[in-house]
Amino acid sequence: MHLRNHLVAVAAFLLIVTATFAGQNSGGQAEPSNTSTAQTAENDPSYKIGAQDVLNISVWKEPDLTQTVPVRPDGKISMPLLNDVQAAGLTPTELRDHIAEALKKYVTDPVVTVIVTQINSERVYITGEVTHPGAFPLVPGMTILQALSSAGGFTNFANTKKIYMFRMVNGKRVDFPFNYKDVIHGKKLDENVVLQAGDTIVVP
């Protein structure tokens, strides 16, 4: 009886491990969540807000001034009392300080918090033999491997050994090779470069 219970426990453990591995590798990679994107932007003090980003602006004890707003194409946001406020080109900390200073005319010692809840201004592009080609938000520190996970995996025709990324440097195109199979097996890790806005990944 003890042996039977032991075998059942082992079988259950193997089933859980198999299911977990399958979930992580279904379609090539698991998709990153919007929450992770927002937290990364919030924790990156150098991140510059851009047009189409979405911001959560909170003013302590002032619910009428607390709101979630998109950054307009002209780089500005609309706020009660302040009307148009320039946001694009500033870090969340810089925008927080600017809003707090402007609100001093109307609020005593305003305490302001600015959080980037969606990054839509900086994008990378994935094309070719992937399930969902298109433009994807660039998360600070995102690598080629992480970006590919956003595209939903590869088609049956994808040549994952011949993937490449290209970017424009001083007006010239520079190609970066990426062998997916090698990278996921711990080889050629230097090919898994950190992406920049405007980079394009091609899966032949």
177 Ramachandran zone, left/alpha/beta (phi>0; psi -120 to 50): beta
What does the pLDDT look like over 152-164, one tens digit per residue? 999 999 999 999 9
What does the pLDDT look like over 182-201, one tens digit per residue? 999 999 999 999 999 899 99
Is the residue at 36 inside a domain? no
- Per-residue pLDDT at 119: 83
What does the pLDDT look like over 17-54, one tens digit per residue? 333 333 334 444 433 334 444 444 545 678 889 988 99
114 and 127 in a single domain? The answer is no
Pairwise CA distance, residues 50 & 70, whole Å: 10
CATH number, domain at 112? Answer: 3.30.1950.10
